[in-house]
Structures are given as structure tokens and as C-alpha cells.
């Protein structure tokens, strides 16, 4: 994290990531992060794997804020649509339509 500190402040990093790491720029504010056992440069524990991560907005359309490590955040960003009920309804509808389309063609 020292290399990060040399290149940019935590505020700049927080703006880039959309997280709350900018509290590390203030000497008094990060006490609650230290109490949680977070090393400097992180603002949350990953909800999925427990690694040090960043507290930020969910990478999909849901109005949710949580904490994720970089790897889990990337994975969530690529798979968020699997969590939407509409995705599954559309997928099931397409499969049923395809099944009936094939069934009708096989009778002709």
C-alpha cells in the first residue's frame, strides 16, 4: 500500500473505486476500521470470501452497498444478472418456446 500512497492519496483512490478508503486520509476517522482489523488502504471485509476489500455500491442494478475484495467484485460484475428473477423467467420462457418449436417441427 506504500506504493499506492506514493502515487495517489486515499481520496483519489476512493473516487476511482467508488469506495470509502478516503477515511484513511484523516488521522482520527479510521479508528473503527482499525478496530475491525483492517490494514491501511482497505475499507471493508469481503462478504463472500472474508478477504480485505472495499465498501462500495453493488456492481449490478440493485440498490445495495456492501464490501468485496477485487476478485469477488469482478466476479459479481460479470454475473449479477443471474441474481435477477426476470433473467430466469426470460431464460425459462426461451427454453419452453424452443422446446415447443422443436416439438411442433418434429410432428410435421
43-79 pLDDT, tens digit each? 999 999 999 999 998 877 778 889 999 999 888 877 7
Instruction: Please tell me whether the overall predicted TM-score, pTM, comes out greater than 0.85 for this model.
Output: no
> Please, are residues 53 and 20 in contact by the beta-carbon 8 Å criterion?
no
| Residues whose CB is less than 8 angstroms from the CB of residue 39 and which lie 6 or more positions away in sequence, other chains included | 1, 52
Give 89 or 13, the one with higher predicted confidence: 89
- Residue 67 pairs in a beta bridge with 55
Q: Which helix (H) or strand (E) holds 54?
A: strand 52-57
pLDDT of 71 reads 92
Give 19 or 6, the one with higher predicted confidence: 19
Amino acid at each position: 500500500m506504500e506504493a499506492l500512497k506514493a502515487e495517489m492519496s486515499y481520496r483519489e483512490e476512493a473516487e476511482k473505486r467508488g469506495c470509502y478508503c478516503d477515511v484513511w486520509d484523516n488521522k482520527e476517522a479510521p479508528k473503527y476500521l482499525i478496530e475491525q482489523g483492517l490494514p491501511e488502504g482497505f475499507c471493508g471485509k469481503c462478504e463472500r470470501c472474508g478477504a480485505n476489500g472495499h465498501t462500495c455500491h453493488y456492481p449490478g442494478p440493485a440498490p445495495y452497498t456492501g464490501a468485496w475484495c477485487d476478485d469477488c467484485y469482478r466476479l459479481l460484475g460479470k454475473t449479477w444478472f443471474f441474481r435477477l428473477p426476470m433473467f430466469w423467467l426470460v431464460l425459462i420462457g426461451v427454453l419452453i418456446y424452443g422446446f415447443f418449436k422443436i416439438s411442433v417441427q418434429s410432428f410435421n
